Amino acid sequence: MSEQQVKTTLLDVNVHVAGPADGPTVLLLHGWPDDATTWATVAGHLNEAGFRTVTPELRGFGGTRFRSADTPRTGNSGILAYDAIDLMCPSSDDLGHSAVFRSGGSGPSGVRG
């Protein structure tokens, strides 16, 4: 696993990336009061099954920082969805490509080797 800092429109997002670079991408979003490490076990199973996992630290968590003091400090679900889209769009960084979004899922039992 590597940690990367990705610049988006509003944030400098700390992102945990693991798995094969050419594998299908799964975006794993944590909730409150959890953090990106919540997904460590699930990400490991996905990586073993050939998926690349992208697990950002959402606004207000870990190393993620607001780029401007003028950005409203909110964590409502709509703005978190915007942050996820902004993170995965090709203009933000090399993370941008066809992504499979998972905000919950069935956990490791849904992964087949």
pLDDT for the residue 111: 42
pTM of the model: 0.76
**H-helix or E-strand spanning residue 94:** none
In the CATH scheme, what architecture does the domain 2-110 have? 3-Layer(aba) Sandwich (3.40)
* Token output for 48: 């073993």
* Residue ranges for the chain with pLDDT beneath 70: 90-113
Separation in Å, CA 56 to CA 10, 23, 25, 46: 14, 18, 13, 16
Q: What is the pLDDT of residues 35-62, one digit of tens each?
A: 999 999 999 999 999 999 999 999 989 9
Other residues' Cβ atoms within 10 Å of the Cβ of residue 19 = 21
